[in-house]
Amino acid sequence: MQHIQPEKWDLVIKGHTSLFDVKFKDLWHYRDLLAMFVKRDFVSFYKQTILGPLWFFIQPIFTTIVFSFVFGNLAGISTDGAPKYLFYLTGITSWAYFSDCLTKTSTVFRDNANIFGKVYFPRLIMPLSIVVSNLVRFGVQLLLLICMMIYFYFFPEGTFHITPAILLFPVLVLLMALLGLGLGLIITAMTTKYRDLTFLVTFGVQLLMYATTVIYPLSYAREKGYDHIVQLNPMTGVIEAFRYAFLGTGEFTAASLGYSAVVTIIILFLGIIIFNKTEKNFVDTI
């Protein structure tokens, strides 16, 4: 029998590790990298553009105008009495944050194969930086919403009021971010092997929007008898709560928000497990 010497190693690199093996210490050490990635995303977004950061506003403004026209005026879908523009803008802003987190995260491995193939850092930094840089964007768009709310306060077109649920705002943002992140992690891990999912995501997210209460209120879905399907979507609870907080319309119940929270946590947990398992060897298959 060989005598085992008590040697202390700082790092052991081996093939298999436990399922939920997130190195929080490592993540914390690389927090500056996260900040650098966020800065990079933000700066490179508007470099060599004339309008610069204004582009953050243009997209939601035009989408809101088009949605108001198509769904509000042409289709005549009710907005539960809230001003049309505000109704759509709240929906669009929150949905955009979720879908940006999801779509950008879902291509993390593919987009960064080059960096990941050359140097080690906790891979989770990359999706986290996406969530944070989209948060910056979301913040800018929130300013737009606040400006519009001030405008409609002085020139009323419908009724709206901020409710105490606004205190839940950070929780809502966190739910959107984590749900998008979790789904994105699952998808990006699977796309390293099965590219098909990439195509699914691009139009799937668009279609999913119609199964969420972005362009219609939940009450309208209930009228038509589809409310159960719509409520299965964990984003519905979040967007309804978001709208309730800012405009006082929509259905905000602890049950639906709780449901969203539980689904989010499950998906996030699953996402991290799959992501961790994939990150070790994806360089070989991408």
Binding mask 160-199 for another protein (x = CB under 8 A): ---------------------------------xx-----
Residues sharing a CB contact under 8 Å with residue 286, sequence separation 6 or more, in sequence order? 109, 110, 113, 117, 192
By the 8 A CB rule, do 180 and 191 touch?
no
Least distance between another protein and beta carbon 186 (Å): 16
- Dist CA 108 CA 66 (whole Å): 31
Q: Which is nearer to another protein, 22 or 75 (CB)?
A: 22
Least distance between another protein and beta carbon 32 (Å): 4
Segment lying near another protein (by CB under 8 A), choices 103-111, 115-123, 145-153, 181-189? 115-123
Least distance between another protein and beta carbon 133 (Å): 13
Question: Could you give the count of Cα atoms lying within 13 Å of 33 in the half-sphere of its Cβ?
Answer: 15
When asked if residue 23 is in the footprint of another protein (CB under 8 A), the reply is no
When asked if residue 115 is in the footprint of another protein (CB under 8 A), the reply is yes
- For residue 32, the one-letter residue type is D
Distances (CA, A) of 122 to 19, 65, 228: 16, 42, 40
Segment lying near another protein (by CB under 8 A), choices 12-20, 97-105, 150-158, 202-210? 12-20
- Dist CA 109 CA 188 (whole Å): 6
How many residues lie near another protein (CB under 8 A)?
A: 37
Among 1, 4, 13, 50, binds another protein (CB under 8 A): 13
- Dist CA 234 CA 236 (whole Å): 5
Among 2, 6, 25, 32, binds another protein (CB under 8 A): 32
Residues sharing a CB contact under 8 Å with residue 128, sequence separation 6 or more, in sequence order? 27, 34, 181
By the 8 A CB rule, do 237 and 260 touch?
yes
When asked if residue 228 is in the footprint of another protein (CB under 8 A), the reply is no
Binding mask 255-284 for another protein (x = CB under 8 A): -------------------------xx-xx
Q: Which is nearer to another protein, 25 or 118 (CB)?
A: 118
